Structures are given as structure tokens and as C-alpha cells.
Structure 1
Amino acid sequence: MTLLSELTRTAVAERAPDAVAVVPVGACEQHGPHLPLGTDLMVAEHVAVATAARLAGEIDVVVAPSVAVGYSPHHVPIGATLTAGVGTLLAQLRDTCAGLAAAGFRRIFLLNGHGGNAELVVVAAREAGQALRVRVGAGSYWVMAWTELVAAGAQDRGRLPGHAGAFETSLALALRPDLVVDPPHRPGTAFARNPAGYFGRYHVEEPDAMAAGDGFSDDPSAGTADDGRRYLVAVVTAVAAGLRKFARA
């Protein structure tokens, strides 16, 4: 059993000191006209649970309840978006870490699935680790798995990670094809990304960029379920390696 919400308090007390608690962090925001609002959270939760299963018998990973609403003000003008403010999200992440520490967990990892949260989960981990005197890590799954995703061809069809483009559409088709509705076609998008991470060497905020693109970054119709399954294998492999290192350091 890997879900914190399914454990008794006795089981938590027994397992927490030697386990890694993983907190999936997502968003509830528009993902173009074709993907569900919870795409980021859906992927983060899947990766967390699949990674826990991959590490079973080696490292005890307990998946905590998710933080479902992230920092998404750049999507609000398009519609169908919930967002937390910077302070609100940081407070929720800190409080979640505090509760896990109080329950006995000494190692906590914030597994992020949404670009808008990328810097904030790191800040939250730093603050929580110092305040709680426990080991707290944070990472966005596509950054943790960048090399593996590039090797799996994730930059060949669309931006990595992009937003609601070929990459995320592939993931959604692999996980919940029933929730994907007629991905639109947008050819000719440039795909290159800096392998150093999501924002590359610096970040420039373009307030209207997402709305100008109808809420998606590149060609969603280029996504396939087969691609998505391959990407998920790459992500789980990389995240498992990251958590293995985190747990043993």
C-alpha cells in the first residue's frame, strides 16, 4: 500500500521514519479545447504512484494527498482556471510538509507537474527543510527526466514540456484517452528547449502569449498514446532514480 490516505495512524507511525513521503503538486487550469483541466495533476499523481511501485522492496515510498490547485494566473484570462496566489501555495506546501514531519516522516519530496509551480516548489522545500529540520526535496518531473525524455523522442513532435501540445496530449492519451477531445492541429511550431531546465537561462513573462495561442503551445494533433506510454516509462525511470538518490543521501 502506497497511499498515505489509506494507511492507519499505527501504520504511518511504523513506516514514516524510514519512508519517503511524496507529495504530487499539480494545477487545475485550461489545457486548450481538448485536454482536461487536471492534466498536470493527473500526470504527477500517476508518476508518484508508479514510482512508488517501481521502488517497492527497495525504498518505502508513501504518496501523500496531492496539492491540486497551483499557481496559474497566466491561464485565468482564457477561462476555466483555478489559481492559488504565491503566498497561498507556499503556505499550503509548507503546511503539508509540517504535517508529514509531525507524523514522523524525515524525508519529503514535492513532485511537481505544473510549469507555474516550478520555482515555488523549490522555495517551499528550502523553507520547510530549514524550519522543520527534515530532508525536503522538490523537482518537476520533466526536468528530472529531461535526458530520458529527449532520448525517448519527446522533442521530436512538440515542445518539451510545452502546454497542452504534443507532449502533454500524448501523456493524456496514454493515461485517460476518454478525457481527450479532438486535439486541434497546429503545424510548424519550433520545438527547441534548453536542456538546463524548463526556463533555460532566464525567464521572460509574456502576459498574453498563452491566450494568443488559444491555450496550447504547439501541435496537439501530433501526440499519440504510444508516445505517451514511452514518455511515462522514461519519466518513472528517471524519477525513481532521483528518489533513490534522495532517500540514500
Structure 2
Amino acid sequence: MFEHTREEIGEFARAGGAIVVALAATEQHGPHLPVHTDALIAGHVAEESVRIAGRSVPVLLAPVLPIGCSEHHLSFGGTISLSPMTYFQVLRDIGESLVKDGFRKIIFLNGHGGNEPMMQQLANDLAVRHPIWTAAASYWSLARDSLQQIGASEVGPVPGHAGGFETSAVMALAPELVREDRIGDSHPERDWIFAGPPGAFVGRHGELTGCDGYTDAPTRATADKGRLYLQTIAESVSGWIVRTVQAMERGEGQL
């Protein structure tokens, strides 16, 4: 979206093009990863996914929103967070802006777990308020089956928080930002964090993101694994974008 003028964006929107809004966060990621880990990964996934999907359907990428709902990280420092209601209003204002820009197909792509409830509710509310199509999902949900097939869980919980999975991704994207000398050999496990089926929530005060603010020791993380995970995610997400936009197009006459 950045490289286009207002006229180009307006024409694209009125012609039925879709726009993807990528959501991320600025928050602590243990002693070894940068605080913009989520923005780094989410931005890459969104760019690659939209690039691939753009071969099949008309779609643009909005600027990544780098601050999210991260109050459960504030006690560790190095975190900027919006409260849930403020975050919801920010997403609402973004959505309303895009509607006024002429977009009738708005897709939210999430890269931080704390954003998900507000994102889902906002996507629903926008579709109630306006004659538009909306969709919303987190990248790990879209790629869950594909990541399982390639054995991504070998490095730890997927996506976890600042563990083997995210560390592998940052090693692939910006290895100079990984403080490998601060990676411990072991980390206390908290099995209850991932208890239950996908979408279930189990929480404990002070440990919503695992012991010391991260979920697992990233001792098995490598850049090669990270590249494989990111490629797999982009393929899964781009496929979802294409299927979603095509389904919206088929239903245009129903609006």
C-alpha cells in the first residue's frame, strides 16, 4: 500500500481488491530475542503471503501494526501495550478508515496471541456495521496442519513464545539480533500452558507466557529450520488468502 497514491488505492478498492492488515506487537521476548520479534515475523509472513496470493487475486498489504495487546508482558519490561478496549478501538478506526477508502474486502492477519480476541470481534463488528466482507485469523492457526507435517514441534511448542520456534524464525530473518550467548541449556516446562485443544485458554497469574516470560529453551533452534517454517507458513497463509478472496468474489452479488 505504501508505494501507491490515493487515486491508485481508491481505484483498486472500488474495483473489488482486498486489503490485508497485519497485526503484531512490541514486547519482551526473553533475554535472547528483540522486542520486535512479532513484528519481524508477522511482517515477513504478511509480505510473502500477499506477494504469493497476488499472483491469483487482487490484494494489497496495509502497514503492519507493530503495537498490540500485550499487558501480560508489561511486568518484564521492554514492552509497549494497548489495553484491550483501546486496542479494539484502534482496530476499529483502522477498519473504518479502510471502509471510507472504498475497500469492501478487509482481511486481518495476526502475529501475536494477545491480539486475537479483539481482532475476531472487530472483524465481526465491521461486517455487521457495513456491507463489506471481513476475515480474520492468526498465522499459526492457518499453518497448524502444515507445520505439524514438517515436524516443527521438534524445536518446542508452536508458536510458543520466544522459544525454539520463534528463535528459529528470527535466526532466519535477522540472525544478528539473536543473543545466542543468553540462551540457556534448559527451561522449566509449563505443560498447562498448552493444555486442551487449539483455541482453549489456560492461564496462571505471572506465568501467562511461561517461566521468566518465555515458554521453552530454544536450544534446537536453527536458521535453516526457521526458513523452512517461514516458507511453510507463507504457503499456508497465501492459500487461505486466495481461497478467502475468491469466496468473497463469488458472493459479491449477495451484498
Q: Same fold (TM over 0.5)?
A: yes
Match of 1:6 among 3, 7, 13: 3
Q: Secondary structure of 2:152's partner?
A: coil
Structure 1 residue 28, shift from structure 2 partner = 0.5
User: Residues 78 and 193 (structure 1 numbering): CA distance in 2 closer, same or farther, change over 3 Å?
Assistant: closer
Give 2:138's aligned residue: 140
CA contact (8 A) 1:159 1:190 kept: no
Question: 1:194–1:52: structure 2 CA closer, same or farther, 3 Å change rule?
Answer: farther
Give the TM-score, by structure 1 length.
Answer: 0.91
Task: Give runs of aligned pairs for residues 1-249 of structure 1, distance below 5 A.
Answer: 4-17=1-14, 18-182=16-180, 183-187=182-186, 189=189, 196-197=197-198, 199=199, 202-210=200-208, 213-249=211-247
What SS does structure 1 have at the residue aligned with 2:212? coil
Structure 1 runs (4+) deviating above 2 angstroms are: 185-197
Contact 2:155 2:218 in 1 (8 A): no
Gaps of 5+ in 2: 248-255
One-letter identity of the residue aligned with 2:154: D
Kept in 2, the 8 Å contact 1:173–1:224? The answer is yes
**How far apart are residue 190 of structure 1 and its match?**
7.3
Counterpart Cα distance in 2 of 1:147 and 1:56: 23
Contact 1:166 1:220 in 2 (8 A): yes
Instruction: Indicate if the aligned counterparts of 1:186 and 1:218 stay in contact, CA closer than 8 A.
Output: no
Paired residue secondary structure (1:185): coil
How far the C-alpha of 1:185 sits from its partner, in A, is: 2.5
Name the stretch that deviates more: 53-62 or 211-220. Answer: 211-220
- Matched AA of 1:56: G
Deviation at 1:32, TM superposition (A): 0.4
Distance 1:230 1:94 in 2: 34
Percent of aligned pairs sharing the same letter: 35
Deviation at 1:205, TM superposition (A): 2.0
Alignment check: 8 A CA contact 1:118 1:140 kept:
yes
Equivalent AA in structure 2 for residue 106 of structure 1: R
Question: Match for 1:184: what amino acid?
Answer: I
TM-score normalised by structure 2 residue count: 0.89
Contact 1:146/1:195 (CA < 8 Å) preserved in 2? no
Residue 212 of structure 1 and its aligned partner are, at CA, apart by 6.5
2:20 partner amino acid: V
